[in-house]
Chain A
Amino acid sequence: MITVQDLHKKFGDNQVLKGINCEVKEKEVVCVIGPSGSGKSTFLRCLNLLEDITSGDVIVDGYNLRDRATDINMIRTEVGMVFQQFNLFPHKTVIQNVMLAPRKVRKISAEEARKRGEALLVKVGLAEKADQYPAQLSGGQQQRVAIARALAMEPKLMLFDEPTSALDPELVGEVLEVMKQLAKEGMTMVVVTHEMGFAREVADRVLFMDEGIIMEENTPDVIFTNPASERTKNFLNKVL
């Protein structure tokens, strides 16, 4: 589903990604962990070209993102993204947030979009909030709406950038629950997270990033109990 080859990313003179290679297969759940500033968000954002790529190749669903012929808007419809800060549209109600892209990009009818949207809100447990505005919801509820909004495009792949980091501790669980459900249904997911419990339970594979490279990758069992690199060990000692 995703192949990344020798991905480099610079911001000006700041070399942030220094040659990333990895592969994500269909239905796989990959968690990305690592210290702050190691380039996790940048890596994730390169996967749907929210950041342009300095060099290397990213191939998503068979399309090379650096190929001029690739229609990036089309790729993005296949790649859902969930942000740390939710980024809901504050001037639109919950259901309008969910319906907007299917209506304008997929050009489906309003009724069809509403029907789908309502089903997704049921799925994330927010059916009764459809006509409220984001500001009226808790952080956890907002993030669940953001997940529903991304799912409304029926993506083949979902990217999550620290989806629970902005939440009060008591609201983290409800969001992780929705993500677990998604994983169970076979969604392909790449999740940048500091929730080690989640990574351990849900991930098929964990990537440990440090200083712009993938230091180590393995099953959660190995990474969390018997990491190969000293860096990984140190990092886990600090966060666990």
Chain B
Amino acid sequence: MFDFAQVIDFLPQLGKGLYYTLLISVIGLLIGFILGAIFGLGRISKNKFFFVISSIYVEVIRGTPVLVQAIWIFFALPIITQYNMDSVPAGIVVIAINSGAYIAEIVRGSVDSIDKGQMEAGRSLGLNKHQTMRYIIWPQAFKRMIPPLGNQFIISIKDTSLLSVILVPELMFQGRYIASNHFNAVEIYTTVALFYLVINFSLSLLLRYIERRLNY
């Protein structure tokens, strides 16, 4: 009935999809992490302007679906800017901006959760604010960020499958293409699902390992 052996023939094409899925996830999340760190600090900043900008960013992204964000960036933004973006860079932008907002909240929450006595102890020793953040607050906050960050990474990797609607040749896009041409939906979509599962499960294990290494 189902012929899973034939999947082997499509592995090169699925592999290409996997490549784009990983590429967009890694670069997108890297940029997302930087955005998250910046705007997360914005959310705890005493600078009004920085705080307001960061809050608007976070609320707009959290309040809209990632699918809408992707379509808006790929189809609407070029009309406004008169500049066409290729689908892969657009996909990276979507993942970066989307994950950045959630990571900003993770950063804010983790930094906020560090006892305020830590800042006071650092400052009372003569460390300036920047040094106290760098040597005392960040390392502790970072450890607390790992579980929610891991969660966000997994969510974002799964979100890349939505990028097939803006023609990013990622895993889901390839799967749909193959399945509609060869009428093997069960075999191909099962394989696609397994690919995502393997990526995310490996990531889970890696994060658990890192967390254990950071134990003190």
Contact = CB atoms under 8 A, between A and B. Distances in A.
B126 A105 contact: yes
Interface size class of A (residues with CB under 8 A): 20 to 34
B136 A50 contact: no
Contact of B120 (A87, A91, A133, A150): A87
A104 B140 contact: no
A50 to B, nearest CB: 6
A101 B126 contact: yes
A135 to B, nearest CB: 8
B216 A100 contact: no
Interface stretch (B65-73, B101-109, B127-135): B127-135
A90 interface: yes
B117 to A, nearest CB: 4
Nearest to B118: A87
A91 B125 contact: no
A77 B122 CA distance: 11
Contacts, number: 62
A146 B122 CA distance: 12
Interface size bucket, B side? 10 to 19
B120 A83 contact: yes
Contact of B125 (A74, A85, A90, A153): A153
B135 A104 contact: yes
Interface in A6-29: none
Contacts of B127: 73, 100-101, 104-105
A87 B121 contact: yes
Contacts of B118: 87, 89
A48 B126 CA distance: 10
Nearest to A85: B117
Given A48-B124, A73-B126, A87 B131 contact: no
